[in-house]
Amino acid sequence: MMSPQLWTAESVLELARSYQAPAILAAAAELDLFSALGSGTLTSSELAQRLDCDLRGLTALLDALVALGMANKSGGAYSLPPAVHALLDAGSDQSVLAMAQHQANCLRNWAQLASVVKHGRPAECMASVRGQAADQQAFIEAMHRVSAPNAESVVQAVQSLPFQHVLDLGGASGTWTIALLRSHPSAQATLFDLPHVIPLAERRLLAANLGARVRLVPGNFMTDSLPSGPDFAWVSAIVHQNSRAQNQVLFTKVFGALQPGGRIAIRDILMDQTRTQPVAGALFAINMLVATEGGGTFTFGDLREDLGKAGFVRATVLLLDEGMNSVVVAEKPARESEIL
């Protein structure tokens, strides 16, 4: 984080211009330019025809990618460096294209920040050139791409918590269900998420040979009843989408679904008491400001209080992380006498 005394006119203007390179990457990702170019070499005219784009506009975008080192140009033909091809071609196992496409959607929201702050309403949601359905699929894939590398190490933190049946609330395409079941070979899982997400989860769970151990339940966790009977609820990257009042409602629903003595684990960003650290959390609060009605980032005190109002006890920080991988755990009392 830059100290105030280090700010100069040039550093302020450099920050003001820093949207430009991300905007170029976002446009190329939305157009799926990297997949279209692949490992080949094409002229701007050939690529414009393939992508159904304006030639002048695409040529300027390609030249800007070359200037940023994300493409090569020889004569009038363009190609991708091997690392860029691996990271941004949709067909690559290493691809982070979906996250780049999701960030393009975030960029449109962030561009409306002043209006959001002025009027107190989220940004106007605008679909990409790929359409709303493609944006939703990119979001689910992006969440898998950022979660999968960390899932095993995060789950190790909760491995000491015994459970036989985990409810993965808003389980997306199954990333965390897979990690949790692999850490507890005798356990079963219920994955609960919106109807359009369930087929994505089914495909990934079957590929992981875990389909027989998972029940897939479509629904909206804010409006529908939750499946009952689990002794452990995994609430991953959800609470930041909600206001504290909405989280209290959600925690109450989870409390009702859990067996007595069951536990809830919340994976999310955890802010310090000043609400300015970690830096990633303060910036992510802006992301929720422009994208949701009441979402944000919360302190442990916030979560402990809201869990307590739902009936949970013994809230603790099981894992503290600078990003999205902090974990807070609380218990549903085994006996009614423990409920305050």
Tally of domains in the chain: 2
Q: Structure pTM?
A: 0.90
Residue 225: HSE in the Cβ half-sphere, 13 Å Cα cutoff: 5
* 16 backbone φψ class: left, alpha, beta (φ>0; ψ -120 to 50): alpha
Same domain, 62 and 161: no
pLDDT over threshold 60, residue 122: yes
Q: Which of 91, 119, 141 is the last residue of a domain?
A: 91
pLDDT of residue 242: 97
Least Cα distance to 262 among 193, 311, 298, 325 occurs for 311
Q: What pLDDT, on the 0 to 100 scale, is given for residue 93?
A: 87
**Residue finishing a domain among 50, 67, 91:** 91
Mean pLDDT of 188-210: 94
Question: Are residues 154 and 296 located together in one domain of the fold?
Answer: yes
Q: Which helix (H) or strand (E) holds 138?
A: helix 132-158
Instruction: Examine residue 132 and state whether it is found in any structural domain, yes or no.
Output: no
- Give the tens place of pLDDT for each residue, 143-161: 888 888 889 889 988 888 8
Q: What is the mean pLDDT of residues 321-331?
A: 95
What would the pLDDT profile of 28-82 be if each residue is shown by its tens digit? 999 999 999 999 999 999 999 999 999 999 999 999 999 999 999 999 999 999 9
Instruction: For residue range 172-192, list pLDDT tens digits in order.
Output: 889 999 999 999 999 999 999
265 DSSP β-pair partners: 234, 329
Cα(77)–Cα(194) distance, integer angstroms: 44
Residue 1 has what pLDDT?
A: 47
Same domain assignment for residues 295 and 177: yes
What phi and psi values does residue 291 have, to the nearest 5 degrees?
-110, -15
Do 68 and 160 have their domain in common?
no
**Going by C-beta distance under 8 Å and a sequence separation of 6 or more, which residues neighbour residue 124?**
112
CATH number, domain with residue 80: 1.10.10.10
| Co-location of 157 and 234 in the same domain | yes
Domain enclosing residue 75, as ranges: 4-91
**Which among 233, 138, 223, 154 is positioned nearest to 190, based on CA atoms?**
233
Task: Output DSSP code: residue 182.
Answer: H
3-state secondary structure of 117: helix
Cα dist from 76 to 25, 35, 57, 143, 175, whole Å: 21, 19, 15, 37, 43
Q: Do 186 and 77 fall into the same domain?
A: no
* pLDDT recorded at residue 157: 82
160 and 87 within one domain: no
Of all helices (H) and strands (E), which one includes residue 42?
strand 42-43
Provide the residue type at 71 as one letter. Answer: A
Please name every residue paired with 232 in a beta bridge, in sequence order, or none if there are none: 166, 263
φ, ψ at 82 (rounded to 5°):
-55, -40
Assigned domain for 104 exists: no
The CATH number assigned to the domain holding 167 equals 3.40.50.150
Residue range 134-142: average pLDDT? 90
Of 43, 76, 91, which residue constitutes the final position of a domain?
91
CB-based contacts of 241: which residues, under 8 Å, 6+ apart?
Answer: 288, 292, 295
